[in-house]
């Protein structure tokens, strides 16, 4: 010291606003805070947070976790069958989106999707029998996230399904996702009718193997450059994937035509992908999962490595806090609804797709996709503001994913649970809205926020882990 004397006084004023006026009138510098009690006014959490701010252990751990996230190089390696490539998938196990949940508590779309998966696997004859089997306890349900996997909406992965394989070339970890079925009556929204099951069968018998054949020819596909290009074309690779899906098919078609796949199969696969603006979503999610798994498990780190919803609970995981989920009730999404539907019809927030926001994309990259902000009646300026705001709760700007509208600044990445609690600025998530009844499908899309309670619990837990 003394940095207090001898340097121009520059004050951060928190509380009574007029104090800043006096400072400025007498030649000092004052920055005005608009303070609100952190942690929703919970004093105990506030004290725990205060002990962690700028804590050397946490700072060092976060630097390491962020470095691992940044260094990750996700590559699309190809297609596999879930039971063959997911290391710990049981033979009678079904994976679902979000944090762990028992059948009894599951939301409508997830139950519908599980019934569909049981029928698809041939474990039951009809829907009633499938529901009874699900209820009986003979089928294991586990989160996708416990298997290095992610799935949009109900996120169902059963043993026979084809899955994308993304490998992180830097750290060697792999991540998986199911394949996107398109819109309308689809399993991930809880539909389980004959047409849904027939499509799943086609995906298993034709789509998966045909894409597999294409990857035999093209080998792996680097995902960071493709996603970066898509950001420059108006995607945020969560709720808007039209550019990325187009870029993907541009890479796949030549390989498909050179592959061993029949012309008829190749044509049907190309037609299927070309008809689905969201085909890339699942790949985007697996890429994000592989980058964040690399950042997970650094002791003392407050970096959020997963945000996921099961339609009942919203859960997060934190790098330094092991496999624990910090959960709170999933919010209902504020958004635009298709004709004839309202918030009363909506299931609470659902799906693993918030892994994209966790990785600094989706809502965090809204500046790349201003059209998205119209879901909540906003302006392109709001899209930029959302991205800029998220920079205050993140540790890094990811130079691999740049934003033209912000003069090519990197996307804000590596959410710091401490900063979320300290500022009360909640991670913004772009998402689709599912009907609460199984099988109706998507009824809208919008923007929502991760619940504060997940982060206050995480901060409390981290404060007990880290010595004062």
Partner 1 sequence: MYIQRLLPNLYRDSVSLMQLSAALGKLPGVEQASAVMATPGNLEFLRQAGLVNGDVVPRPNDLLVALRGKSTAQLEAALATALASLNDESAKDIKGAVAEAPLRSFQMALSGAPQANLALISVPGDYAAAEAMKALRLGLHVMLFSDNVALADEVALKRFAKERELLVMGPDCGTAIIDGVPLGFANAVRRGAVGVVGASGTGTQQVTSLVHRRGGGISHAIGTGGHDLGKDVGGITMLHGLGLLARDADTKAIVLISKPPSPAIAREVIAAARKAGKPVVINFIGSTEDPSGGNLHVSRTLDDAAAAAVALSNGRKPGRVAAKTLKVPRVKFKKGQRYVRGLFSGGTFCYEASALLGDVWSNAPVDPKRAIEDPWKSREHTLIDLGDDVFTRGRPHPMIDLRLRNDRMLQEAADPQVAVILLDVVLGYGSHPDPASELVPAIEKAQGISRKKGRSLAVVASVCGTDEDPQGLERQEKALREAGVLLTESNASAARLAGALVAKLR
**CA 310/CA 353 separation, integer angstroms:** 11
Examine residue 385 and tell whether it contacts partner 1 (CB under 8 A): yes
Least CB distance from residue 41 to partner 1, whole Å? 8
Q: Is 152 in the site for partner 1 (CB under 8 A)?
A: no
Where in 297-326 is the site for partner 1 (CB under 8 A)? none
- Residue 131, judged by CB atoms within 10 A of its CB (0-12, 13-18, 19+), counts as middle
Residues 6+ apart with CB under 8 A from 410: 396, 397, 398, 399, 400, 401, 402, 403
CB atoms within 10 A of CB 381: 12
Verify binding: residue 18, partner 1, rule CB under 8 A: yes
- Least separation in angstroms between residue 190's CB and partner 1 is 17
Shortest Å, Cβ 187 to partner 1 = 18
Quick check: 36 and 57 in contact, CB under 8 A? no
- CA pair distance 265, 138, nearest whole angstrom: 37
Give the Cα separation of 40 and 36 in Å (integer).
8
* Number of neighbouring beta carbons within 10 Å of residue 268: 16
Helix (H) or strand (E) holding 452: helix 452-465
In whole angstroms, the minimum distance from the beta carbon of 393 to partner 1 comes to 9
54 binds partner 1 (CB under 8 A): yes
Under the criterion CB under 8 A, does residue 60 sit at the interface with partner 1? no
Among 51, 64, 258, 324, binds partner 1 (CB under 8 A): 51
Taking the complex as a whole, how short is the minimal distance between the CB of residue 174 and partner 1, in angstroms?
A: 34
When the beta carbons of 31 and 229 are compared against partner 1, the nearer one is 31
Cβ closest to partner 1, residue 7 vs residue 194: 7
Nearest CB to partner 1, comparing residues 290 and 430 = 430
Q: Using CB under 8 A, which of the segments 17-25, 126-134, 160-168, 250-258 binds partner 1?
A: 17-25
**Interface with partner 1 includes 336 (CB under 8 A)?**
yes
Residue 334: Cβ-neighbour burial (10 angstroms; 0-12, 13-18, 19+): middle
- E strands, 196-264, in order: 221-222
How many angstroms separate the CA atoms of 461 and 48, rounded?
A: 9
- Which token pair is 150? 């992610």
Tokens of 84: 């063959």
Nearer to partner 1, 174 or 418 (CB): 418
52 or 85: CB nearest partner 1? 52
Is 214 in contact with 252 (CB distance < 8 Å)? yes
> What stretches of 29-147 adopt beta strand conformation (E)?
29-32, 74-81, 93-96, 140-143
Question: How many other β-carbons are positioned within 10 Å of the β-carbon of residue 427?
Answer: 24
For residues 328 and 385, which CB has a smaller minimum distance to partner 1 in the complex? 385
Query: Is residue 50 close enough to count as binding partner 1 by CB under 8 A?
Result: yes
Q: Show contacts with partner 1 in window 435-464 (CB under 8 A).
A: 444-445
Q: By the 8 A CB rule, do 347 and 436 touch?
A: yes
Nearer to partner 1 (CB atom), residue 169 or residue 388: 388
**Among residues 45 and 221, whose Cβ is nearest to partner 1?**
45
Which string of x and - marks every residue 167-206 that binds partner 1 (by CB under 8 A)? ----------------xx----------------------
**Binding status of residue 7 toward partner 1 by CB under 8 A:** yes
Q: Using CB under 8 A, which of 338, 399, 404, 408 touches partner 1? A: 338
Q: Which of 11, 124, 233, 328 binds partner 1 (CB under 8 A)?
A: 11
């Amino acid at each position: 010291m003394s940095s207090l004397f001898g340097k121009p006084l520059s004050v951060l004023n928190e509380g009574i606003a007029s104090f800043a006026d006096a400072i400025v009138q007498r030649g000092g510098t004052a920055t005005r805070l608009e303070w609100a009690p952190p942690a929703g006014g919970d004093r105990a959490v506030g004290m725990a947070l205060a002990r962690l701010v700028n804590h050397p252990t946490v700072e060092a751990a976060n630097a390491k976790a962020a470095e691992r996230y940044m260094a990750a190089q996700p590559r699309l390696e190809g297609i596999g069958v879930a039971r063959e490539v997911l290391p710990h998938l049981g033979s009678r196990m079904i994976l679902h989106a979000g944090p762990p949940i028992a059948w009894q508590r599951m939301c409508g779309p997830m139950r519908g999707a599980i019934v569909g998966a049981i029928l698809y696997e041939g474990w039951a004859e009809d829907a009633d029998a499938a529901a009874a089997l699900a209820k009986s306890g003979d089928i294991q349900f586990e989160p996708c996230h416990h298997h290095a996997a992610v799935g949009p909406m109900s996120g169902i992965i059963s043993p026979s399904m084809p899955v994308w394989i993304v490998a992180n070339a830097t750290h060697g970890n792999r991540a998986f996702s199911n394949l996107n079925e398109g819109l309308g009556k689809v399993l991930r929204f809880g539909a389980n009718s004959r047409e849904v099951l027939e499509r799943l069968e086609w995906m298993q018998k034709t789509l998966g193997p045909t894409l597999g054949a294409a990857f035999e020819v093209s080998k792996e596909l680097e995902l960071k450059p493709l996603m970066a290009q898509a950001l420059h074309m108006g995607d945020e690779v969560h709720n808007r994937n039209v550019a990325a899906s187009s870029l993907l098919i541009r890479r796949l078609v030549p390989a498909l035509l050179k592959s061993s796949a029949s012309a008829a199969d190749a044509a049907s696969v190309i037609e299927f992908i070309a008809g689905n603006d969201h085909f890339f979503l699942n790949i985007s999610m697996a890429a994000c999962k592989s980058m964040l798994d690399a950042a997970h498990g650094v002791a003392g780190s407050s970096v959020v490595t997963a945000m996921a919803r099961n339609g009942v609970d919203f859960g997060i995981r934190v790098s330094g806090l092991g496999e624990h989920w910090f959960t709170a009730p999933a919010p209902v999404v504020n958004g635009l609804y298709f004709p004839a539907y309202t918030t009363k019809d909506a299931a609470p927030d659902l799906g693993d797709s918030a892994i994209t926001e966790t990785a600094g994309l989706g809502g965090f990259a809204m500046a790349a996709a201003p059209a998205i902000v119209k879901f909540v009646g906003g302006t392109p300026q709001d899209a930029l503001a959302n991205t800029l705001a998220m920079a205050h709760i993140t540790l890094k700007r990811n130079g691999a994913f740049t934003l033209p509208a912000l003069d090519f600044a990197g996307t804000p990445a590596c959410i710091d649970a401490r900063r979320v609690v300290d500022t009360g600025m909640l991670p913004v998530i772009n998402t689709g809205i599912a009907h609460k009844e199984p099988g109706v499908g998507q009824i809208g899309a919008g923007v929502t926020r991760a619940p504060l309670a997940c982060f206050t619990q995480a901060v409390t837990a981290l404060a007990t882990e880290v010595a004062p």
